[in-house]
Amino acid sequence: MRRLEHFPSKLRALVSRRWIGELNYGAARGEFEVAASIETLLNERKGASTVASSCRNRKTMSKTTEKITKTDQEWRAELSPTAYNVLREKGTERPFSNDTKNAAPGVYKCTGCGQELFTSDAKFDSGTGWPSFSQPISADAVEEETDTKFFMKRTEILCSRCDGHLGHVFPDGPAPTGLRYCMNGVALKFEPKETK
């Protein structure tokens, strides 16, 4: 394993208290652990460019999804400060702060607009501290966009109805898709399946 000083200075600059959650929050305690986390991110970055698109690109989105547009003031009035930061400002909540542990069957909807995004059948425990899913409820439910923040190239996942930032998708998920939709828990609300 490489020592921390062997990484580019711009990448080392990311390793601060503020962004340690992006690397491996809670596990990265010392220099070697941080270096291992950076290597993991670099490997994910390489794989992220090869992620097969299982959802629609913004340019080829289904015409059936009716967009919701609101003013910044309306979004602020409707969302909690944390939900606003994640959904509208593309923030990231702290890991393990909002991971819903629902074992019941149901649907995860967008906190911003209520669109159905994921089913509980596609949810799995990735150990990352954020809710993870193997696939969206449908190809039209989410859109993807290239995210190049923090000197990385990742695939950002957005709600196709309100353009709310949900999280990112990575190529290290379980079969059959091999994908991990790593979502912010505050961006999702769980609705249990009605029992008859």
Domains of the chain: 4-48 (no CATH), 56-192 (2.170.150.20)
Question: In which residue are the tokens 């609300």 written?
Answer: 189
Is pTM beyond 0.75? Reply is no
Q: Categorize the per-residue pLDDT at 82 as very low, low, confident or very high, splitting at 50, 70 and 90.
A: very high
Q: Which of the residues 55, 110, 159, 182 is marked catalytic?
A: 182
Burial of residue 150 (number of CB atoms within 10 Å: 0-12, 13-18, 19+)? middle
Contact 23, 14 (CB under 8 A): yes
Per residue in 159-177, pLDDT (tens digit) is: 999 999 999 999 999 999 9
How far is residue 165's CA from residue 144's CA, in Å, rounded to a whole number?
10
List beta partners, residue 110.
188
Q: What is the pLDDT of residue 151?
A: 87
3-class state of residue 133 by DSSP? strand
Q: What length is written for the chain?
A: 196
162 counts as catalytic? no
Per residue in 33-53, pLDDT (tens digit) is: 454 455 555 554 444 433 444
32 DSSP 8-state letter: H
Amino acid at 161: R
Rounded to an integer, the average pLDDT of 110-134 is: 95
Question: In which residue are the tokens 């990735």 written?
Answer: 126
Rounded to an integer, the average pLDDT of 185-193 is: 93
